[in-house]
Amino acid sequence: MSKKNERKKRILRIFTAISAIAFLGSAGFGFIRMLTNPAQSTQVSSQAEDLTQQLQAQARGYEMVLQREPENQIALQGLVEIRLQMKDFEGTIEPLKTLVKLNPQQDQYKTLLATVKQQVDGKKDDKATSN
């Protein structure tokens, strides 16, 4: 009978040791993951900054073209797209007005201009309300 008890105790100890190792391993893995996670968020923010810088550089390029050729539709369209991506709605209005003037038959420009104006007016209303 004592051999049976010793065997049960030994099996119980082995099971307890394996359980403890598994618990500590999973906790350690979670801890390591937690420590490396801030590095990922830093990477994401630096990628966002890089994207913003790229968009600003592209916008400057389109603006340079428009200084030489104010009615260049490709540059106007590109500038509108870039400024929309940058959420610069106020900066989008002037090139859109030019596109509407150059292409009165294109309803998409008129619709986009109206939408952008509503967005800008909405932001102005929000600022006035919060002050």
The residue extents of the domains of the chain are 2-123
Let me know: does 75 contact 62? Beta carbons within 8 Å. yes
pLDDT value for 25: 80
Instruction: Confirm or reject CATH 2.40.10.480 for domain 2-123, answering yes or no.
Output: no
Q: 13-66: per-residue pLDDT in tens? A: 888 888 878 887 888 777 777 777 665 656 667 787 888 899 999 999 999 999
SS3 label, residue 106: coil
Contact partners, residue 92, CB within 8 Å, separation at least 6: 80, 83, 84, 116
Q: 118-130: per-residue pLDDT in tens? A: 988 887 766 666 6
pLDDT value for 45: 73
Distances (CA, A) of 76 to 39, 53, 65, 100: 39, 19, 9, 11
With both helix axes pointing from N to C terminus, report the angle between 2-68 and 73-85 in degrees, rounded to the nearest 10: 150
pLDDT value for 127: 64
The count of residues in the chain is 131
Residue 96 has pLDDT above 70, yes or no: yes
pTM for the whole thing? 0.62
